[in-house]
């Protein structure tokens, strides 16, 4: 029977001729220069993996003490993205028939110096320029080169993950460029010129971030006159991996298991090569900022949009669970609770940074949760912005929780508190309740936020079971330990007041009045009167006063 729309049914040969071949672009010989067997492609993949891992480490290690809110949030996102790409690359390297995988090895000592320098950058502009102008840009260029050099048919699994990585590196790079343009003027740039060119030299000495250049090409131009280079050109070209004269790489802190073990290092030094990572680099360049061991700063800092960071004058939970109040003003308390979650990334980053030696899946899961908590904080920010409320003026977002946990508890104890709080959010009066309040308030944005917030918490409870619960004999013991750690935390309500750190000002009536003006309604006098603080009620509602 003749088919409608076809004047003539094409033959099989004709169809074959018309179909695009998905392998057309791989016929050229030029597409075969990266050989997996020779270690070229694999060596580069290991370097990208190392770069993502180090970027993740730096974003985490610098997030808590970074005062700028936008950067704090961006570091949360970018750490999560880097953790995801590092995980994908680890999986891919595992497929490439070259055991041992050497994923914990440092691929090049100058690459190690490069990232250590950025980790130790003393100012935010230097940190941002090191991260976004140097590391992210070099990693992006390396992966773009990989796509040009590899064979897209034989190496398709790598090509695919490189393409995905590029999408997010591009986003990170754009964000970084915009932030730097906002922060760095010409004087500021002038002051960091020398250090930025030192970072370039580190990359050059490492053969580029991807190591694609030969050893001879790695020696920076004008190297002999370069003050940062401590060794002769001959030594640089021939010498085995050696520590810098001022500081051995062995002295570096190893917060997330980035460095090779002692045994691995000896093997590297004997062989003069990085295992599975190609020929040795020239001598290690002399360190600048990283000449002294990096000191991790776990004390949270905030910018001027958080003018009263010890204020615990408005108890959100008591208001939220009071049945006599209507749902509408409760949405304000929920926006406050969400925005206050900025302290969860600050606290979680300290757990991640100070818990070395766990499987990469641990860092990946914890980083995902950390980013979710940053998203929750931004939901609160968007909620206030949507109502036209100037939150830095009207809402006092404190950092008392992250400050107390980070300075009073060990990393496992902080995790215990987080687990205890998150388990408390699962029953009826937790996230479901907040979602129901939001639905009843007819604030569509609040309902949307609480819907996703609840879903995220279910994932976080799973992450807690996977990485915290396993440390205990039974779930009851894990919860009891979390309760005990939380009870030990001193929230010095009165002490902070006496020291003049805060007056615990009741900012609620002003916020509520402002919202009512925007809603076009008269304030409810009973809601206006609300003045319960965290001073006296905390003992009874201790499990509700934390962030998660």
Binding site for Fe ion (CB under 5 A): 341, 373, 376, 460, 548
Nearest to 229 by CA among 214, 208, 245, 240: 245
Residue among 210 and 453 whose Cβ is closer to Fe ion: 453
d(CA 548, CA 13) in angstroms, rounded, equals: 62
CA distance 346 to 370: 9
In the complex, minimum distance from the CB of residue 450 to Fe ion, in angstroms, rounded to a whole number? 11
Give the residue from 353, 358, 255, 367 showing the smallest Cα distance to 300: 353
First to last CA, the chain: 66
* Dist. CA 419–CA 399, nearest whole Å: 19
Smallest distance, Å, CB 532 to Fe ion?
23
Q: Which is nearer to Fe ion, 236 or 414 (CB)?
A: 414
Phi and psi at residue 501, to the nearest 5°: -75, -30
Residue 192 vs 418, nearer CB to Fe ion: 418
Q: Which is nearer to Fe ion, 83 or 118 (CB)?
A: 83
Comparison of 169 and 548: residue with beta carbon closer to Fe ion: 548
For residue 321, the minimal CB distance to Fe ion (Å) is 18
The distance from CA 154 to its chain's CA centroid, rounded to whole angstroms, is 33
HEC readout, 471-525: HCCCHHHHHHHHHHHHHHCCCCHHHHHHCCCCCCCCCHHHHHHHHHHHHCCCCCH
175 vs 449 by CB, closer to Fe ion: 449
For residues 309 and 380, which CB has a smaller minimum distance to Fe ion in the complex? 380
Q: Closest Cα to residue 541, out of 307, 306, 312, 310?
A: 312
Identify which of 284, 112, 130, 120 has the alpha carbon closest to the alpha carbon of residue 192.
Answer: 130
The counts of H helices and E strands in the chain are 25, 0
């Amino acid at each position: 029977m003749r088919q409608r729309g076809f004047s003539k049914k094409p033959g099989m040969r004709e169809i074959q001729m018309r179909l695009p071949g998905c392998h057309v672009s791989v016929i050229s010989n030029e597409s075969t220069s990266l050989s997996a067997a020779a270690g070229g492609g694999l060596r580069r993949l290991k370097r990208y993996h190392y770069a993502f891992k180090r970027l993740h480490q730096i974003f985490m290690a610098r997030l808590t003490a970074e005062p700028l809110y936008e950067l704090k949030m961006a570091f949360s996102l970018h750490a999560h993205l880097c953790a995801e790409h590092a995980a994908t690359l680890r999986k891919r390297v595992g497929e490439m028939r070259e055991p041992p995988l050497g994923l914990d090895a440092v691929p090049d000592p100058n690459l190690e110096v490069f990232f250590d320098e950025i980790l130790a950058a003393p100012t935010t502009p230097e940190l941002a320029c090191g991260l976004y102008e140097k590391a992210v840009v070099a990693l992006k260029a390396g992966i773009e080169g990989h796509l040009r050099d590899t064979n897209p048919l034989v190496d398709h699994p790598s090509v695919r993950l490189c393409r995905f990585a590029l999408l997010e590196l591009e986003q990170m790079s754009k964000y970084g460029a915009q932030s730097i343009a906002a922060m760095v003027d010409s004087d500021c740039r002038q002051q960091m010129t020398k250090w930025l060119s030192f970072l370039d030299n580190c990359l050059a000495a490492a053969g580029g971030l991807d190591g694609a250049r030969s050893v001879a090409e790695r020696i920076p131009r004008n190297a002999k006159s370069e003050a940062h280079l401590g060794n002769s050109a001959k030594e640089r070209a021939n010498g085995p991996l050696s520590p810098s004269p001022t500081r051995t790489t062995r002295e570096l802190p190893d917060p997330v298991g980035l460095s090779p073990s002692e045994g691995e290092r000896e093997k590297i030094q004997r062989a003069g090569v990085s295992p599975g990572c190609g020929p040795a680099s020239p001598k290690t360049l002399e360190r600048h900022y990283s000449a002294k061991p990096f000191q991790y700063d776990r004390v949270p800092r905030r910018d001027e949009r958080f003018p009263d960071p010890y204020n615990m004058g408005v108890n959100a939970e008591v208001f939220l669970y009071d049945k006599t109040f209507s749902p509408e003003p409760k949405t304000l308390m929920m926006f406050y609770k969400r925005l206050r979650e900025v302290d969860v990334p600050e606290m979680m980053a300290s757990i991640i940074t100070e818990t070395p030696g766990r499987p990469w899946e641990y860092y990946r899961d914890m980083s995902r949760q950390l980013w979710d908590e940053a998203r929750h904080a931004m939901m609160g920010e968007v909620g206030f912005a949507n109502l036209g409320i100037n939150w830095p003026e009207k809402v006092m977002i404190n950092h008392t929780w992250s400050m107390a946990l980070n300075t009073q508890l060990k990393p496992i104890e902080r995790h215990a508190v987080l687990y205890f709080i998150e388990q408390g959010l699962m029953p009826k009066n937790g996230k479901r309740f907040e979602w129901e309040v939001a639905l009843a308030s007819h604030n569509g944005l609040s309902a949307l936020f609480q819907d996703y917030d609840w879903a995220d918490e279910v994932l976080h409870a799973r992450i807690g079971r996977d990485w915290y619960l396993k440390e205990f004999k039974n779930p009851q013991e894990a919860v009891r330990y979390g309760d005990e750690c939380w009870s030990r935390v001193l929230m010095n309500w009165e002490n902070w007041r006496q020291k003049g750190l805060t007056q615990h000002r009741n900012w609620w009536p002003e916020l509520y009045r402002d919202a009512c003006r925007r809603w076009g309604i008269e304030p409810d006098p009973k809601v206006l009167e609300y003045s319960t603080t965290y001073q006296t009620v905390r003992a009874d509602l201790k499990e509700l006063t934390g962030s998660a």
